[in-house]
Each structure stands twice: as structure tokens, then as C-alpha cells.
Structure 1
Amino acid sequence: MKTNKKTTSNCNPFDFLTEEIIFTILDYLNDDPFSKKSFSLTCKALYSIESHHRKTLKPLRAELLSRTLHRYPHIEHLDLTLCPRIEDIMLNVVSLACKDALCSINLSRSRFFTNIGLSSLVSSCFNLVEIDLSNGVELNDLAAAAIAEAKNLEKLWLSRCKLITDMGIGCVAVGCRKLRLICLKWCLKVSDLGLQLLALKCKEIRSLDLSYLQITEKCLPSILQLQHLEDLVLEGCLGIDDNALSTLQQSCKSLKTLNMSNCHNHSHVGLSSLINGAENLRELTLAYGPAVSLIPLSTKISWKL
């Protein structure tokens, strides 16, 4: 009897729980990193379980990236915004450590990597569906060509990638046919031609940000042939005038939100035409635009003026 009591008293209650149940417990601790840290430091078994449970990682230092990824082998979402210096060799480390699991990576605050590192990343991590390369002011068409290797990519942010041209966008369009969201804000070398190529190849696009591009109404017919397009941002597109809005009226049946902030070359005539023809439009943003006092407000639109 004494032996049985001793055995019972030394028994770890977690030994009776499956890994799935412990993962569920950890799910409730996701918003409290201190609790998860305490959990992992309890014993070697829980340390190992927590390592396999973690799916999101935001490293504080690039120098520790290799060691951190070794501890967490099942990372799906990697946020490197706190690591400003990411070189190609570090992307190679990511591609080797996360090749079977990685779904999204945020490099919007990182520098010093090139198309070579990107190519290694996307060719190894075949499950990548999201890449944020915003503020990549040194990335060029070679980088865009590397991105095109990500055949399963669904979301791509290229904001302020000012060296990428229509040729690079064409590569992305040919390679990434599953794109549902793409942000080209401040990509100043992208013109009507690049957008026409994108619309021709990427039929699944739902969200498109063209803010501050030097585009005209020539690209709109192609864009508006996207049957699933719901969110269109034309902020600061000075080439959009009343004639362009007339084109929107004729073809924007799926469009739900439209942002035309800082667009100064249209009038209430074009906007009235747009509103009367946009059946599903629910939100129209006109901040810092021309006077809109003459536009009818009989539609179900959330005005942000």
C-alpha cells in the first residue's frame, strides 16, 4: 500500500492527457506569452510540447534566428519586422528550417536580402501563401521574378518597391495565378501595361491597391473584368477622371469598397455616374478629394469624407 501511495503521489497529471488536449490548453494561453513561457519551463516534456505547438514567431534579433527556428520547427507565420538586417543567408536558414510548414512571412521592415535569398525561400517553402515585401526600395524585377516561383501565393504586398517595373509584375502575373490580394502602392514604375498583364493572368484577385500609381483609364477595363474584385484602392491616382469613373460604372458589379482619396481630377458628375451603376458598392472613400456636395446620398454607402 505504501508503494502504491508513493507511485500515485509522484504521478504527473499531464501524463494522462493527449498531446491534442495539451495543445488546446496552450491555445487559451496564446494571448499571454508569460504564461506560455512558464508552461514551457515547467519540465522537459512540456518544453518540447510547447515548441511543437507554436505556429507564430516574431524574433527580436536576427542573430538568434537559426537557434529560434531550431526550437520551433512548425512555424507557419514568421514576422521579421523586428529584424531590420536580414541577409540572403538568413533566408536560406528559414527555407531549410520551415520548408514544410511556413505559410506567411513579413519582411516589410527588413533589408539587405536580394532575389537570391527570395528565390531560395519560395522554392523551398512551397506552402507560402502570404509574402510582405513592403518598403523594399532596393528590390527590382529580379526579385519579382523570384517571387513568381511561389505558385501557391495568395497575398502579396509590394508597397514602395519603386524599382519593380511592368516586366516584374508580368513575371508575378504569370507565376502566381492564385493571387487574391496584391498591393502595389507607390510602385512608381508600374503602369497600365503591368496592370493589364496582372488582370489577364490572375483571375482570382479580390483586393487590389494601386495607390499613387501613374495609371490612366486604359487599365480599368482589364481590371474590371476581374469577376471577384471587391476592394479597389485608387488613392492618389491623378489619371483617374470622369471618363474613368464612367468605365467603373459599366463594369464594377462585384465591387464593394472603393477608395479614391486624393484624386482631384474628377467631379461630382463622374461620381454620380459611378454610384448609379455600382449595384454592390457599400463604401466609398473620398478623403481630400473635390467637393462632393452635389452627389446624391440615396445609396447604401458609408461616406468617409
Structure 2
Amino acid sequence: MKLPNLEVLSLVGCVGIDDDALASLENECSKSLQVLDMSNCQNVTDEGVSSVVKAMPNLLELNLSYCCHVTPSMGKCFQMIPKLQTLKLEGCKFMTDGLKYIGISCASLRELSLSKCSGLTDTDLSFVVSRLKSLLKLDITCNRNITDASLAAITSSCPSLISLKMESCSHVSSEGLRMIGKRCSQLEELDITDSDLDDEGLKALSGCSKLSSLKIGICMKISDEGLMHIGKSCPELRDIDLYRSGAISDVGVTQIAQGCPMLESINLSYCTEITDLSLAALSKCAKLNTLEIRGCPSVSSVGLSEIATGCRLLAKLDIKKCFAINDVGMLFLSQFSHGLRQINLSYCSVTDIGLLSLSSICGLQSMTIVHLAGITPNGLMAALMVCGGLKKVKLHTAFRSMMPPHMLNVVEARGCIFQWIDKPFQVEQERCDIWKQQSQDVLVPLPSYRII
């Protein structure tokens, strides 16, 4: 506190700090502070926060997530920091009228995070957003008590919102979600994962033509029909999450790929209807750097080869439980995906050959290679020794006793951390339905394995 020009102070998780310790912040130096983060300071109370904010008239950002109860007296004290623009209260418990006084005191707020809070009601939230005319970003994730009433207030009071996160707000209906697209046309980021969204809602959201990030995973009512509206109307989309959207097929993915040429990240995990046709369409998105297709049994090395050759910026790849992806896919990645940094190969049909070819990617930093029936201890150890840039590797604990300790020590000495997964598994050989292109264009069946 003897630093006269201190502007940013982070005290995250400092359980040794209590109200008495905060008293040291009440001096001339505190007037220069602009950012204060006391998240997870669990021995600080609302009284301590109230006392310290009075000494920080120039504070622009305050993070009290998982810190203390939000009381009316603390809310009133925020009047002493009139320039405050960002307030994060994730995981806090709101006492009666606590949020109401924040609305009265913090008229200049541009960003408000209320994720995973308790005691939050439609009445209080509606009052707050009606007062925050400059609000641009709002996070109400996992507030399961709020309903369409809150969403009506948010969309009517804050038409200039550019970011709205409301994952798992399960009491908001499909009709309520449609209000977002009709009233908040400036949205750039929207997270309504695990919601009642349907195709009519997606049609309404297509009015948000500036969307760059759309997270609509675990929305069981959406289909290709709704997704086509997004593909046609949101050309700036860079990130879309369709996790476990089981009704999505190649038709919807192709529409996104064709209509959103700036796409950088897509999550299609457990979209079981997609095939190599989806990957072929996505291969035209040259900026794609993150692809998650975990649990998509109908994609194969044929589709992955299209991704490798077309998406040269690919950095993160999750192909766990893509049983039809084998060594051929790894060979294409080693040839064309030189920027690959992270890959999950668990449960695929990759053998030592594919793993060794993959290890030639010098920038590879993280691999998850649990439950690969075709991997031997010798092949695994050879790949680990060749891949010198690895920082993190997840392996089944069974391999630990099969590899020379001194060689594991060498890999660890280079800065690699091993995470050993102790999960029993059983290998079941399925019908041979994976084919590998070999010399002279002869197709030879390879065994496929599924790990249970």
C-alpha cells in the first residue's frame, strides 16, 4: 500500500485476508486503484467490502465472486464508486433488496455478472436492468429461478446488449427466448446452452446478424431447419457450440459452413447424425482452429483428411469415441496440421503407427490417449520421446508399470505433466467396418474396437 500509482490489485483466494486486513487499503494509495479482484476471499464480509470501496473513488472494475453476501448496506456503498463499469458477483448470495440497491447505486455499469447466485428473483433482476441503461454484458448463468418475466425486462431495458449468458436457466420458455432475437439485435455473444430453444427461436435469433459466438448445446428441440436460418443470416459467426444437439445432421452443419466463412470453432460432440459430409463442408472454413466431434461414430479418417488439408490453422481437435478414425487420419494430420496443439484420441482406432506419425508435429502440447486398443507400451514410449514439446499427457494408469521409469523421468524433465487415469475398461472387437487405403488403391479392412 506504499505504491502511489497502484492501479490493479488481485487478491484472488487469499483466505488470510479479513475485514481488518482490508483496513490497510484505506489510505491515499487506494485512490489510484482501478481494478480490485477479491474473488474467493471467503473471510471477507459485506461490512469489510463496504468500508474499503469508500476509499476507492476511481474504481472501474470490482470482482467479489464467491466472496460475501450482498446486503442492502453494501449495495448503498457502491454509490461511492460512481465510475464503476464492471461488477462480478458470481456465486454470491443476495439478501433482500441487496441487488436492488446495486441498481440504484451503479448506473454506469457496462458489465454485470450474476452467475450461479442464490436469492436472485425476477423482481430484483427486472428492477436492476431497468436502471442500467448502459449495460452491454450480462451473465445470469445457472439462475434457475428466473423466468420469462426477467427476460422480458432484460430485452426491453437493454436493447444494446452485446453479450448475454444464461446457460441452464431452465424456467425460461421457448417463447421467452424468442424475445432475445426480436429485441437485442446488437448481440455478438449469446450462451443459452441447456435451454428450451426451438427452431422458431433460432429463426428469431437470426435477426442478430452480428453474432460471433453462439452456444446452443443441449437444446433438444432444435434441428437443421432452425440452424439454416443462422447460416443464412449470421455471416460473422466465429464460434458455435452444438454439443449434444442430436437432431442436427449434415444438412444443418453444411449450411453453417457455407454461410459462416469466418468460422473458427465448432463443437459437434455427440451429434450422432453427422457424417464425413459435415467435415467435408467444414474443410472449406479456412480459419477453423477448433473442432470437437467427440462421440460421432459416423465420421471417419476420410472426413478428417478433408479437415487436415483444408483447415491449416487447426490447433485443437477432439475425436474421442470416433471409432472409425484410424492411422490414415493421423498421417494426414502429421502432413498438413502443423499448428496442432491439443488432441484427444481416446477410444479411436489409432495404433502405434498413427501415434508415431502424430508425434512428428513439433508444436503438439497436449494429448489424451486413454483406451487405445492398438497402442503398445513401446509405441507409446517412442512417441513420447519424439514429441519434445509436450506439456500434458493423459494416459491410462495401466501403462505406468509397463514403461521404463527413467524414460518417463526424461519426458517429465522436459516439462511434461502426466495425468494417470484409473478407469477400468473392456475391449470388444466389432464387425470390421473401417477400411484403410493402401498402396495401389487396394482397400483392406482393419479391425475396429470399441471401449466400454
Question: Do both proteins adopt the same fold according to a TM-score greater than 0.5, normalized to the shorter chain?
Answer: yes
State how 1:56-71 maps to structure 2 within 5 Å.
56-58=112-114, 60=118, 61-63=120-122, 64-71=124-131
Question: CA offset at residue 86 of structure 1?
Answer: 3.8
State how 1:46-61 maps to structure 2 within 5 Å.
46=81, 50-53=106-109, 55-58=111-114, 60=118, 61=120
Match of 2:293 among 234, 242, 250: 234
Match of 2:156 among 96, 110, 114: 96
Matched, 1:144 2:202: yes
User: CA RMSD for the aligned pairs?
Assistant: 3.0
Note the alpha carbon deviations across 1:198-241, whole angstroms, 9 max, x for none: 11111111111111112111122221111211111111111111
**Equivalent pair of 1:114/1:143 in contact (CA under 8 Å):** no
Q: Which amino acid aligns with 2:59?
A: I
State how 1:20-169 maps to structure 2 within 5 Å.
24-27=58-61, 29-31=62-64, 41-42=76-77, 46=81, 50-53=106-109, 55-58=111-114, 60=118, 61-63=120-122, 64-100=124-160, 102-136=161-195, 138-169=196-227
Matched, 1:178 2:236: yes
Q: Which amino acid aligns with 1:261?
A: K
Match of 1:298 among 360, 366, 376: 360
Determine the C-alpha separation between the residues in 1 that align with 2:57 and 2:226. Answer: 42
Q: Which amino acid aligns with 1:25?
A: L
**Partner in structure 1 of residue 402 of structure 2:** none
Determine the C-alpha separation between the residues in 2 that align with 1:230 and 1:249. Answer: 11
State how 1:268-283 maps to structure 2 within 5 Å.
268-283=327-342
CA separation of 1:236/1:144 partners in 2, compared to 1, >3 Å: closer, same or farther? same
Where relative contact order (Cα < 8 A, 6+ residues apart) is larger, the structure is: 1
Determine the C-alpha separation between the residues in 2 that align with 1:85 and 1:251. Answer: 45
Question: CA offset at residue 24 of structure 1?
Answer: 4.2
CA separation of 1:180/1:249 partners in 2, compared to 1, >3 Å: closer, same or farther? closer
**Equivalent pair of 2:178/2:200 in contact (CA under 8 Å):** no
Q: Percent of counterpart pairs with the same letter? A: 23
Question: CA offset at residue 165 of structure 1?
Answer: 0.9
Note the alpha carbon deviations across 1:75-123, whole angstroms, 9 max, x for none: 33222224214433321111122223x2222221112434432332233
Question: CA offset at residue 290 of structure 1?
Answer: 3.1
Greater helix share, structure number = 1
**Equivalent pair of 1:119/1:149 in contact (CA under 8 Å):** no
Alignment size in residue pairs: 287
CA separation of 1:54/1:279 partners in 2, compared to 1, >3 Å: closer, same or farther? closer
Determine the C-alpha separation between the residues in 1 that align with 2:208 and 2:266. Answer: 19
3-state SS of paired residue (1:247): helix
Determine the C-alpha separation between the residues in 2 that align with 1:76 and 1:292. Answer: 50
Show structure 1 runs of 5+ residues with no match. 1-12
**Equivalent pair of 1:220/1:248 in contact (CA under 8 Å):** yes
Matched, 1:196 2:254: yes
CA separation of 1:45/1:237 partners in 2, compared to 1, >3 Å: closer, same or farther? same
Work out which of the two has the higher radius of gyration on C-alpha atoms and give 1 or 2: 2
Question: CA offset at residue 188 of structure 1?
Answer: 0.7
Determine the C-alpha separation between the residues in 1 that align with 2:58 and 2:70. Answer: 13
**Partner in structure 2 of residue 7 of structure 1:** none
Determine the C-alpha separation between the residues in 2 that align with 1:81 and 1:57. Answer: 9
Show structure 2 runs of 5+ residues with no match. 1-26, 36-55, 82-101, 370-452
Greater strand share, structure number = 2
3-state SS of paired residue (1:53): coil
CA separation of 1:42/1:280 partners in 2, compared to 1, >3 Å: closer, same or farther? closer
Determine the C-alpha separation between the residues in 2 that align with 1:252 and 1:280. Answer: 10
Question: CA offset at residue 251 of structure 1?
Answer: 1.5
Determine the C-alpha separation between the residues in 2 that align with 1:190 and 1:53. Answer: 38
Determine the C-alpha separation between the residues in 1 that align with 2:78 and 2:220. Answer: 50
Match of 2:265 among 182, 207, 213: 207
Match of 1:257 among 311, 316, 319: 316
Q: Which amino acid aligns with 1:57?
A: S
3-state SS of paired residue (2:167): coil
Question: CA offset at residue 31 of structure 1?
Answer: 4.5
**Equivalent pair of 1:26/1:36 in contact (CA under 8 Å):** no
Question: CA offset at residue 49 of structure 1?
Answer: 5.8
Determine the C-alpha separation between the residues in 2 that align with 1:131 and 1:223. Answer: 22
Question: CA offset at residue 34 of structure 1?
Answer: 5.8
Determine the C-alpha separation between the residues in 2 that align with 1:43 and 1:289. Answer: 54
Q: TM-score, normalised by structure 2?
A: 0.57
